Each structure stands twice: as C-alpha cells, then as structure tokens.
A and B are shown apart, each in its own frame.
Chain A
Amino acid sequence: MEKAIKKYWPVFVLPTLAAFLIGFIWPFIWGIGLSFCKFTTVKNVEFVGLSNYLNVWKDATFLHAFGFTTVFTIVSTVLINVLAFLLAMLLTRHMRGTNVFRTVFFMPNLIGGVVLGYIWQILLNGVLSLLEKPLLSLNATYGFWGIVILMCWQQIGYMMIIYIAGLQNVPPDLIEAARIDGASNSQILFKIKIPMVMPSITICTFLTLTNSFKLYDQNLSLTNGEPAKATQMLALNITDTFYARSGAQWKGIGQAKAVVFFLAVIALALVQLRFTRSKEVQA
C-alpha cells in the first residue's frame, strides 16, 4: 500500500509543499540572506556582512524592548498559569453553573488582538481618569500592567480549558488511595494532582511563553509603544524598524533584529520544553 500512495505524491504533498515554499521556506531563507545586507527595496541590495548585527545591539530601543518583553513574558506567564490552574481546580469541583462559568471565561479568546486592545484602552483610560491618574499612553508603568491585565483576560480561559482536561484525566482512585493513607488536601494537590497534570503544564507554559514573547496586535492597539517607545515590545519594535523609521540602514537592521528575535524564541521554547518535560511523570 505504501508504494501505491507514494506514486500519488504530486496530489497529496505537492500543493502543500508549493504553498509552504511560497509562504514560509523561501521568505525565511531570503530573510536570513537579507539580514546581512543593506537594502530599501528588494532591487538595491548591498552586502554589508555582519554590520547589521552589530548595529542591532547599538540600538537602545531594541535593548529596552528586549528587557521589557522579557519582564512582561515572565510576569504574564506566571500570572496566567497560576490563575488558570486555580480556576480549573474550582471548575472541577462539580458545583452549580460550571458550564456557564467555563463558557464565559473562555469567551475573550475569540476576540481578535486589535479589537481587544481598543476595548481595554477605553476601559482602562476610563478607570485611570476616574482615579485622576495619567492615561495609558502617558505612563509606562500603567501601560505595562495594562498589557498584563489584557493578556490575562484573553488567555486565562484558554489555559483553563487545557488544565480542566488535564485534571479530569487524573484517576480518581489515585486520589482516593492517597486520602485513605491520610494525605491532606494540599499534599494531594502538590504530590498527586500537579505531577499528574504536568503535560498540561508543559503545553500551557509553552503557549503562554511564546504568545507573550511574540505579542504584537495587543501591544499595537493598547499603547502602540507610548510613551516614547517605553512600552514597545520586540515584535512591535521590529515592525517599527522596518516600516516607520526613515534611513536606508534600518530595513537591514530590522531584518537582523528579526533573526535575533527568532533565535531567542527558539532558545526559549527549547529551554522551557526541556525543563517542564523533565518534570513529567507516568501514572
């Protein structure tokens, strides 16, 4: 049978492969190539070696964005996962209204990033002006927490769903046995439930880490990096370097930044997967 299918590869694989070449592989390779060049359009490309990569580290806005994104990623990943896990614990207690709660908490996930940003901009600016504080676009601290709150609102529901599925797969007899042996509730949580849902924790931290690190839409619409690029995250900084800065050198530097960004995402993903995978157990 394998041979028969193999003969049909132009039908089964070629369309996807062709689109994949156009939409991903070729732009990716070309992008790496362009990161070593100075260019404004694709027609006047001049090879400059590693100078783009050196200039990346001289750009203070990029370094700031790197730091800002890192802090944001850590804060939001921890908050989202802890809160989502707590909610999942509550929603697996067989209480009234569980389905309604689950539906409501998941809902923000369906709203797109740009729209989400504007909804929260309106709400947070309203709250800030009631408290007679500066608006979001004038204060970087409020901007930071604004994005954190927004991300929590959007992502908690999604992660909660995954945690609920994980918790429901913990065999009840395991918990029963522990209880008969005299384990307390917190012992059951830390010694049985958390190790048993480790695969869900791996997925959820992976998703929240990469989502937060690659965040663009929400950042653009909520603060657009204001004030003075203080709340600009990496993805926005790179797009900004490409399309909003004048000067012939910036596109090349932008592409080099994108390569650095890509390597950072890969490194982050690999480290995280290795770390949480090592904590997974078999039932």
Chain B
Amino acid sequence: MENSAKTKRVNAVLSVLLGVLCVAWLYPVALILFNSFKTERAITTTRVFELPTAQTFVGLQNYIYGVTSMDFLRSFWYSLFISVSSVFLILLCCSMTAWYITRVKGALSSVMYYLCVFSMVVPFQMVMFTLAKTADTLQLNNPYNICIIYLGFGAGLAVFMFTGFMKSMPLEIEEAAMIDGCNPLQIFFKVVCPILKPTMISTAILETMWVWNDYLLPTLVLDIKKFRTIPMAIQYFRGSYGKVEMAPMMACIMITVLPVIIMYLFCQKYIIEGVVAGAVKG
C-alpha cells in the first residue's frame, strides 16, 4: 500500500489523542481515590481538585472510619452472598429450562419463551410494589432467600441467551448419549453443560453485573433497617439527613469500586466476550 507510511503517522497521532482521552476517562475514579485520603476539611466543593498534601493527608483513617461506622463488611457479605446465590440459581435453572424449550416443541415451551422475552422489556416500576408485597408474604425478604426473586426477574435474559446458543447445538451428540442409555438429566449435565460453558460464563457475567449493582429491588424487598447491600448502604449513607461525611463516603466508594475493577482486569476477556454474546439477543 502506498499510503501505509501516512496511515502509520495518522495512527501514531490518534494513539496519543486516545491516550489523553483515556486519562480523562479514568479521572473521575482517580479523583475519588485521592480525595479518600484527605481530611474532611479539604473536601469542600472548591478544594476537591487539590491533591493530598502533608497537612491534608490522613492515610487510611477514612477507610477505617467508613468501614466501621457503616457496618460495611456486613453489607459486603450480603451483596456477595446475594450475587453468588442468585447467579448460581439463574444459571442452573435457566439453562435447564432453555434446553427444554429448545428440544421440546409444545405450548409450554413457546409460552415460556415469549414470556421471557416479554419480561426483559417490562420496567421494574411496573411490578415493584406488588413484588415487594409478594416477597413479604412468602418470606423471601431476607438476603438468603432473595435469590428466588432474582431468578424470577432475571430469568428472561438468561433463558434468552441460552436458547440463542442452543439453537445451533447439534442434536446428534445428545441422541448418541440417549442410545447409550442416559436419561435426560444425565444428558443435560454430562453432555449439554460442558458445551454450554462459554455461554454460561457470558451469562454469569451479565447477571452478576446486574445483581451486584442493583439498588431498587433489594431496597424495596429487604428490610432496610436489618439488611443493607452495598448500593443500599451508599445511598443510605448519603441520603440520610444531617451532615454528610464526604471523606468516609469516598473511602467506601473506593472499597466498592476497587474489587470490581481488579476482577475486571483479570477476566476482561470473558467480560468483553460476554457483552458481545449478550448483544446477539434482541
């Protein structure tokens, strides 16, 4: 190509520009990070852009105060437990349902499928009041049972993603297993599940991103005085009346954001593949 030298120069300039943009992109998080090490007095709206100095640097004091005053570790545990249990349940039940929907043609399959598609578009406000009441009646209003609610409300996306993948799965392997004497459960767990692994990971990531960050559903379903997930804790901390302590709040934001970012750096390949796989829906 005659213009390859020119392309190289353009690319070099673009690289630099995008590099600058990246720094700007990361700045909001960096801002919170360095403010979380400053004293309360140095975080007024006019002084928020100052880097910590010898006078304003307080080390980990904000972190310690934030974690202890907010009972943050307990919130962390609730969030973690809810995310893990819900996502596990969603993956298990929805992959089974999706397999049934793909392999058995009938009224039950088509009704389930269209209901799942439908549920993805319905805004949460439509069901929030009645859902919270239902959860109260059925004793699903604590962090250990709420995963059933998440299975119900999150089933749509998961079933949709699994069926999308299963449509292209060859029937022959499963038939061979059946001839060899497997019952449907054995076929599902020994043959279908291993093939599903990439879709499982993608779905797990999309569902985890949703459940971990979800705010309104746990706020309405859980008893806010007893159980607070991380988003609830942050909102409660900020939204409660009286003086807001900015420094510990920033420390808490950092504790919330950092594990997610670290996890992202390690499995970004899967996360990005998950996003692309999820986009094939619709």
With both beta carbons as reference points, the residue of chain B lying nearest to A25 in the complex is identified as B115
- Whether A217 sits at the interface, judged by CB under 8 Å, is yes
List chain A residues, Cβ under 8 A from B276: 161-162, 165
* Size range of the chain B interface in the assembly: 35 or more
Q: How far is the CB of B100 from chain A (nearest CB, A)?
A: 4
Question: Does the CB pair B94–A119 fall under 8 Å?
Answer: no
Q: How far is the CB of A262 from chain B (nearest CB, A)?
A: 4
List chain A residues, Cβ under 8 A from B152: 19-24
- Whether B69 sits at the interface, judged by CB under 8 Å, is no
List chain A residues, Cβ under 8 A from B149: 19, 22-23
- Whether A12 sits at the interface, judged by CB under 8 Å, is yes
List chain A residues, Cβ under 8 A from B171: 1
Those of A65-111 within 8 Å (CB) of chain B? 90, 93-97, 100-111
With both beta carbons as reference points, the residue of chain A lying nearest to B103 in the complex is identified as A5
- Whether B195 sits at the interface, judged by CB under 8 Å, is no
Question: Does the CB pair A221–B235 fall under 8 Å?
Answer: yes
Known contacts A97-B15, A265-B123, A22 near B148 by CB under 8 Å: yes
- Whether A216 sits at the interface, judged by CB under 8 Å, is yes
Q: How far is the CB of B143 from chain A (nearest CB, A)?
A: 16
List chain A residues, Cβ under 8 A from B18: 90, 97, 101
How far apart are the CA atoms of A135 and B127 in the complex, in Å?
35
Question: Does the CB pair A258–B184 fall under 8 Å?
Answer: no
Name B275's contact: one of A161, A202, A235, A254 (CB within 8 Å). Answer: A161
Q: How far is the CB of A267 from chain B (nearest CB, A)?
A: 10
Question: Does the CB pair A235–B125 fall under 8 Å?
Answer: yes
How far apart are the CA atoms of A90 and B256 in the complex, in Å?
32
Chain A interface mostly helix, strand, loop or mixed? helix
Question: Does the CB pair A259–B126 fall under 8 Å?
Answer: yes
- Whether B213 sits at the interface, judged by CB under 8 Å, is yes
List chain A residues, Cβ under 8 A from B213: 111-115, 217
Those of B248-276 within 8 Å (CB) of chain A? 249-250, 253, 256-257, 260-261, 264-265, 268, 271-272, 275-276
**Contact mask A235-265 → B, CB, 8 Å, 1/0?**
1001100100000000100110111011001
Question: Does the CB pair A115–B256 fall under 8 Å?
Answer: yes
Known contacts A103-B268, A153-B28, A12 near B96 by CB under 8 Å: yes
List chain A residues, Cβ under 8 A from B175: 1
List chain A residues, Cβ under 8 A from B106: 6
Q: How far is the CB of B149 from chain A (nearest CB, A)?
A: 5
**Contact mask B210-225 → A, CB, 8 Å, 1/0?**
0011111000000000
List chain A residues, Cβ under 8 A from B250: 122
Q: How far is the CB of B189 from chain A (nearest CB, A)?
A: 11
Question: Does the CB pair A106–B122 fall under 8 Å?
Answer: no
Question: Does the CB pair B126–A262 fall under 8 Å?
Answer: yes
Name A26's contact: one of B28, B46, B122, B134 (CB within 8 Å). Answer: B134
How far apart are the CA atoms of A20 and B49 in the complex, in Å?
48
With both beta carbons as reference points, the residue of chain A lying nearest to B183 in the complex is identified as A4
Those of A155-199 within 8 Å (CB) of chain B? 158, 161-162, 165
With both beta carbons as reference points, the residue of chain B lying nearest to A31 in the complex is identified as B130
Those of B231-256 within 8 Å (CB) of chain A? 231, 234-235, 238-239, 246, 249-250, 253, 256
How far apart are the CA atoms of A16 and B99 in the complex, in Å?
12
Please name 18 pairs of A and B residues whose Cβ atoms are closer than 8 Å in the assembled complex, sorted by A.
A13-B108, A24-B115, A24-B152, A24-B155, A30-B134, A31-B126, A93-B7, A101-B22, A110-B209, A111-B29, A112-B230, A112-B256, A113-B215, A115-B231, A120-B28, A125-B45, A207-B282, A266-B121
What residues make up the interface of A, taking CB atoms closer than 8 Å to B? 1-2, 4-9, 11-13, 15-17, 19-28, 30-31, 34, 42, 90, 93-97, 100-115, 118-120, 122-123, 125-126, 128-130, 135, 153, 158, 161-162, 165, 200, 202-204, 206-207, 210, 214, 216-217, 220-221, 224, 234-235, 238-239, 242, 251, 254-255, 257-259, 261-262, 265-266, 269, 273
What residues make up the interface of B, taking CB atoms closer than 8 Å to A? 7, 11-12, 14-15, 18-19, 22, 25-29, 31-32, 35, 45-46, 48-49, 93-94, 96-97, 99-100, 103-106, 108, 112, 115-116, 119, 121-131, 133-134, 138, 140, 148-153, 155-156, 159, 171, 174-175, 178, 183-185, 188, 209, 212-216, 230-231, 234-235, 238-239, 246, 249-250, 253, 256-257, 260-261, 264-265, 268, 271-272, 275-276, 279-282
